[in-house]
Amino acid sequence: MGPFKAWLRWEDDRDPQRQQHDHQEAAMRIHDSVKAAMDEDDELGGTGEWIGLLGFSQGAKVCGSLLFSQQRCAQMPGEQSPKLPRFRFAILLAGRGPLVWLGLGSDMPTGVVGATTSSTALHIGLPPIPLADRLHIPTLHVHGLRDPGLSRHQELLYRCCDTATSQLLEWDGAHQVPTKSVDVLALAKEILVLARKTVDNEFSDGVQRYTRYFSASSILWKFNMIQFSCLAIAVVGLGLALLVVLVRGFQNEFRRVPGPWYTLFADLVLKISVITGRRMYYVDSLDKKYGPYVRMGPNEVAVNDPVGFVQIHKIPKFKKSECQTPSLRKAILEDIPFVSSLLPLRSA
């Protein structure tokens, strides 16, 4: 059977110089293995963003260590960061402490061990990670209550992770992945809750970053040249489209601004004039200034009759397709004044 592989060394190497020399190589091989698995999944048709990690036993230890190294590299600007996505959370099933330092650059932080250290070592006397430096990226820890290594799993939770961002799910099992329906459903529920909570927090943070981003005085410097060029083209295109719409609206004699929109206001003004008793003043004003006929829109004519009633008629023959003769066009566009009903009302 085989071959059998492990994430970490299973026997201790007593040579400190060899451990120091091999640390970076071991960390890099772990990063390369994760990246290779992701690339293979993409090649097989997998889609979507990589957002989390899930591991069991030694794999859980590596998952937590990857998050810790990611967090540490983000806090240290000069730290060399591996070419992996930014993971938002991790599911750690029966993972034992301490965490492994998988950084590629600076010295090893307090409370973690090197990538060449034996995974079975007890690490007696190793101090816990300082509270301010503990893993605060959200984690879900799954512990089997009959697992012989339960105390080591609790060490990972309480000595390496921030309890404010970590959750614990206990189940009646040994050192294995839950298989019973009741345990699997409980685990799936907690995973979904953690994922949704993480996405919601990411969305809120994204909104805040978006607000700060677009309120900064140096907004132009936050774009690279290609992004800025695309934004400039989009803005110019929208401006030209708006200009074309406005020009066509003013130049088209059957769609002059304010055009048909003011006809709606004319109906409203007529109703208001009836309620307020200003209808006669309104009609007199229209008649004195424009005569008995005024064009309120491209297809509407207001008619002031002798007894003072105002009616707005929609006349189909005013449509452009039916105004082909020069005499009819002249009568519609020149002989009947084009006005807004709001202007005479204000002058009355």
Residue positions annotated with a catalytic role: 57, 147, 175
Going from the C-alpha of 283 to that of each of 223, 286, 292, 347, the distances in angstroms are 59, 5, 9, 12
Q: 192, 130 in Cβ contact below 8 A?
A: no
Q: 162, 129 in Cβ contact below 8 A?
A: no
Q: Within its chain, how far is the Cα of 235 from the centroid?
A: 22
Task: Name residues whose C-beta falls within 8 Å of residue 33's C-beta, 6 or more positions apart in sequence.
Answer: 7
Q: 150, 143 in Cβ contact below 8 A?
A: yes
**Cα gap 188→200, rounded to integer Å:** 18
- E-assigned strands of the chain? 52-56, 89-93, 139-144, 166-171, 293-297, 300-304, 310-314
What's the CA angle centered on 231, arms 229 and 234, to 5 degrees? Answer: 110
Sign, CA torsion 199/205/207/210 = negative
Q: Within its chain, how far is the Cα of 80 from the centroid?
A: 28
Residue 22 has a CB neighbour count (10 Å cut-off) of 17
Sign, CA torsion 207/209/215/220 = negative
Q: 297, 311 in Cβ contact below 8 A?
A: no
Give the closest residue to 92 by CA, choosing from 58, 137, 141: 141
Q: Cis peptide before 258, with omega less than 30 degrees from 0?
A: yes
